[in-house]
Amino acid sequence: MNKVPNNRAWWLVLPVFILVAFSALIPLMTVVNYSVQDIFGPGQGYWVGTEWFKEILGNERLQDSLLRQFAFSGAVLAIQIPLGISVALMMPKSGIKASLCLILLAIPLLIPWNVVGTIWQIFGRGDIGLFGWGLNSLGVDYNYTGDTVDAWLTVLLMDVWHWTPLVALLCYSGLRAIPEAFYQAAEIDRASRWAVFRYIQLPRLKSVLVIAVLLRFMDSFMIYTEPFVLTGGGPGSSTTFLSQTLTTMAIGQFDIGRAAAFSLIYFLVVLLVSWLFFTAITHLDKEK
Amino acid sequence: MIAWMNWTPTVAIFFAVIAGILMVMTVYEIVSPCTERKGFLPIATTRGDRLFIGLLSAAYIHLAFLAVSDITLWVALAVSVAWLAVLLRWG
């Protein structure tokens, strides 16, 4: 069997390739170029080699920020993926109730990031916000502007509120695509509810879960606007995530060379983690 | 015209080498198409997968050298090339 595949269809990818070249590849090359120079202005760059990288790798503020970012993304995935799946499992299968659920779920997704931040900023306040006021009157000492744990929980809660619906909607569409015959067969075998979930629904959800995990990881890893509006990165720097540190460096201090080196390290981390997720999930099947 | 972008020859060489590698791999693939196989890596990989893993780990090798030592990066480059070769052959 010596079949030679016909690869001519690759030419159809060319327009997308050109588009991506201008939207991603060339800007990325620019970043690489900036990362080895000290840029003072247009046409005024000085070659510094790997100095920025060395400095970034040894910078404690950035290391803290990176650790914080991993903790946040980990928490986001650990909460949102199981929660999203359970919401999808509990949703009605058809009829007006299903439509109603879908609309309700989609509402948080339609709200712009900065508005989400503002909503939660007011919602969590002790004096005029329902959430903050309610907790305080229940006797809970809650103050997201002063307490690190409270600030973290609020940012996390906000993200869960904003993005769990995405996971739920993806899983819901995955669940709806399972043919009824699978469930009938399971019923004949007297499979338990857990067995149905474990051996029918979960394997069938795998492809949408890959997308959900990747999307949620990338989005939470790049989170900027919501914590910026809600806490401004505080108290102290306890909710300052990577992109906020990066923005402060690049735009606030106009430290383009250092920011470029930092972006590249950031990019490599995202690339590695995304690749690991993707490979792990797509290869689970093949191994069996 | 694009002088304000401060392009440097070193970065140009870097990307030219990557573009070169991709082109060589494309030609190699056309001349002798590869099949997925299992090496010492825990997953079955194609030639392109191994190249990607090699390049990504090369980036991390360079960063590790920068982070923990003052040795010249040519050593890191040599280590990366050797690792890439091992990966492509036995990975």
Residue B1 has pLDDT above 60, yes or no: no
Task: Identify whether A143 is part of a domain.
Answer: yes
Most confident of A40-44, A75-79, A184-188, B61-65: A75-79
Count the alpha carbons within 13 Å of A245 in the hemisphere toward its beta carbon: 27
Q: Do A283 and B5 touch (CB under 8 A)?
A: no
Q: What is the mean pLDDT of residues B4-22?
A: 87
Task: Find the range with the poorest average confidence among A1-15, A155-169, A238-252, B38-52.
Answer: A1-15
Residue B29 has pLDDT above 80, yes or no: yes
Q: Which of B17, B28, B29, B90 is nearest to B55 (CA)?
A: B17
Task: Identify whether A43 is part of a domain.
Answer: no
What are A215-269's pLDDT values in tens digits? 899 889 988 888 888 888 778 788 888 888 888 888 888 888 888 998 999 899 9
Task: Identify whether A122 is part of a domain.
Answer: yes
Residue B67 contacts A, CB cutoff 8 Å: yes
Percent of chain A at pLDDT exceeding 90: 31
Reported confidence tier of residue A287, pLDDT bands at 50, 70, 90: low
What is the pLDDT at residue A164? 94
Q: How far is CA A169 from CA A98, A111, A163, in A?
A: 11, 16, 10
* A76 vs A218: CA distance, rounded Å: 11
Q: Do A32 and B14 touch (CB under 8 A)?
A: yes
What is the pLDDT at residue A288? 53
What are A15-55's pLDDT values in tens digits? 998 999 889 888 898 889 888 888 887 777 788 888 888 88
Q: Sign of the CA dihedral B14, B20, B22, B25?
A: negative
Measured between CA atoms, the residue of chain A closest to residue B12 is A33
What is the pLDDT at residue B44? 82
Min CA distance, B32 vs chain A (Å)? 10
Higher pLDDT, B56 or A242: B56
What is the pLDDT at residue A34? 87
ipTM above 0.85, yes or no: yes
The two structure tokens encoding residue B41: 């890596």
Task: Say which residues have a Cβ less than 8 Å from residue A238's Cβ, sequence separation at least 6.
Answer: A68, A148, A151, A152
**Neighbouring-strand partners of residue A44:** A41
Min CA distance, B21 vs chain A (Å)? 16
Measured between CA atoms, the residue of chain A closest to residue B57 is A272
Q: Which of A134, A119, A124, A127 is nearest to A154 (CA)?
A: A124
Q: Do A57 and B56 touch (CB under 8 A)?
A: no
> Containing domain of residue A243, as a range?
51-283
What's the CATH number where A229 sits? Answer: 1.10.3720.10
**Which of A31, A33, A44, A285 is best to mutate for the B interface (most B CBs within 10 A)?**
A33
Q: Do B63 and A265 touch (CB under 8 A)?
A: yes
What is the pLDDT at residue A286? 63
Residue A4 has pLDDT above 70, yes or no: no
Task: Identify whether A234 is part of a domain.
Answer: yes
* A250 vs A262: CA distance, rounded Å: 10
Residues from chain B contacting residue A53 (CB–CB below 8 Å): 63, 66
What is the pLDDT at residue B2? 62
Higher pLDDT, A283 or B57: B57
How many domains does chain A contain in total?
Answer: 1
Higher pLDDT, B34 or A216: A216
Residues in chain B, overall count: 91
Q: Do A33 and B60 touch (CB under 8 A)?
A: no
Task: Identify whether A95 is part of a domain.
Answer: yes
Task: Say which residues have a Cβ less than 8 Å from residue A150's Cβ, sequence separation at least 6.
Answer: A142, A143, A144
Task: Identify whether A14 is part of a domain.
Answer: no
The two structure tokens encoding residue A25: 């590849």
Residue A1 has pLDDT above 60, yes or no: no
What is the pLDDT at residue A216? 92
Task: Identify whether A137 is part of a domain.
Answer: yes
Residues from chain A contacting residue B11 (CB–CB below 8 Å): 29, 32-33, 36
Measured between CA atoms, the residue of chain B closest to residue A6 is B30
Task: Identify whether A228 is part of a domain.
Answer: yes
Q: What is the mean pLDDT of residues B52-76?
A: 89
Q: Which of B4, B14, B60 has its CB closest to that of A43?
A: B4
What is the pLDDT at residue A100? 92
The domain segmentation of chain B, as residue ranges, is: 3-90
What are A99-152's pLDDT values in tens digits? 999 999 999 999 998 899 999 999 988 888 899 999 989 988 888 888 888 899
